[in-house]
Structure 1
Amino acid sequence: MSPSKRTPGNVAKPKGQAMAPEVPEVLPPDGWVKDSPFGFLRYEGGDLARLGDVQAWLEEVKGFDCLQSMAELIKRMPEDVMVCLYYINRIGDNGKPLNAQLMPVDSTFSHDGNSLPKPVWQSEERHAESLAMHRTLAAAQPKTTGRPALVDRLERTVRAQRMGAADPMNNPTHHVARLAVPMAKAFQWWGYGQLAAPAGADTEAGSVPDVSTWAGLVKVRKAYPSAIWVPEMKATVRTEKKRRKALPGAKGVAKAMAEELGISEKRVNDLVRESE
């Protein structure tokens, strides 16, 4: 039996509304807080999405259990995920928030501190010495590093969850709970987050880009193919299919629509059913 759905303190349902593809800025989902229970969700380039929050969000919006959500999380992580994988810091002793640090690209994701970023209190020279010593010792017993090691570590968290253990992905005492990626990457890979409104746009009704039109929907889906299909999008697919089928000599309607959206014919029909 699958574990019950989790409700971490830093995740929310999607907003249910598509934003403009012309504006690449990605905002956090509703309910996201920068000063999370796990650390400060910020790096030098902007906001971060914690992997544990993304996994729980996938369970919430797609109805996945922990095994399915982790499989989706791993499947959509690119081979070069290590170049933008961050380790978030807790609030420092002086009460000042600290930006997250990049994980070492050859991290083993073990409990050994040398697989983590340089401690903020340690000099670069001292950290380099520690890493050199660690790697010399590890050379006699090669270990998996980088993305393969990350995948192994994430898969082990699922095994722990399914055996009834506390969820490592949402336990502040576990290192894996403090792994995060830039918000824009989380949106690109999993659809987590939401697009910012166009610069200077009016916030009143009617200012939000319209996905109730077929042209508008196609534009959004082409720009962000991994974005979640919100109800407004599904309704547009249903309306457009109905309109096309009513035309004289209509043939291959779903197939043509699928090609325009860059999805399968089956997916078009599923979207229509889901919107009813």
Structure 2
Amino acid sequence: MNGLMPVGESDYTDTDFQRVQRIAQAQAGIHLPATKRALVYSRVSRRVRELGHASFRTYLDFVQAPGGEGEMEKLVYALTTNVTSFFREKKHFEHLETVVVPRLAANIAAGGRGRVWSAACSTGQEPWSIAMSIMTAFPDAAAHDMRILATDINADVVARAAGGVYPDEETEGIPAARKAQFMESCGDGDYRFAGPIGRLPAFRVLNLNASWPIRGTFSAIFCRNVVIYFDEATRERLWQRLSDRLEPGGFLYVGHSERVSCATQCGLTQVAPTIYEKDD
């Protein structure tokens, strides 16, 4: 690095922040208000240091130049937050187990299939929680055409999610009986998902604000704590696209601080504070 590391916020100008704002919006639909200026400095300065650039300007020049595509991905990753836990917002999983899974089981028994989408899976706690809920309410699910699509914009967290390995302390939200049923010790303080449950989730990298190479519809979609990063127009577009991917009677689960402001226009009916049902 040889003294090229930025020494402080003096290397970070309003112009730099505005460039990051434009990149975030264009690449991922992320809206960064002025109140996020310090957060952007904290997150992006790590990348500037690691690559040995003299300033934010030269780093951003590199990111936007031909050949900077890989670092562009890293920049977007740095701007996104991956805070999650197993069975976060338990009411969603209770609803999934008592309302959605029985319908899925009946549909599969009649020759159909079951599909659930975790649309911002982060490091995997959400889709693995979905899998445990499905297997608890429908123990034979893995032997049938039952799948969970788990996607995220960040390839690094998707890779970790797909591995299904978690430190013991991160599994505290899993009831003991389910942990014993669905996980096994790795012998080093980590636990991994093992057995038939591993056949349910399929992990993919996906930008929610780009094209979706997805066929068919879903009985349930989890898209939680994502739209808080978007402006209103981007949110409404995403809600409509998600609604279009729900089968009639399917459910959309959103974050505790989120609401679908255009529910009626999207053909959704709110059935609980953070649960919406697709109209028939």
- TM-score over 0.5 (shorter chain): no
Give the TM-score normalised by the residue count of structure 1. Answer: 0.26
Give the TM-score normalised by the residue count of structure 2. Answer: 0.26
Greater strand share, 1 or 2?
A: 2
Larger Rg: 1
Which protein, 1 or 2, shows the higher relative CO under an 8 Å CA cutoff with sep ≥ 6?
1
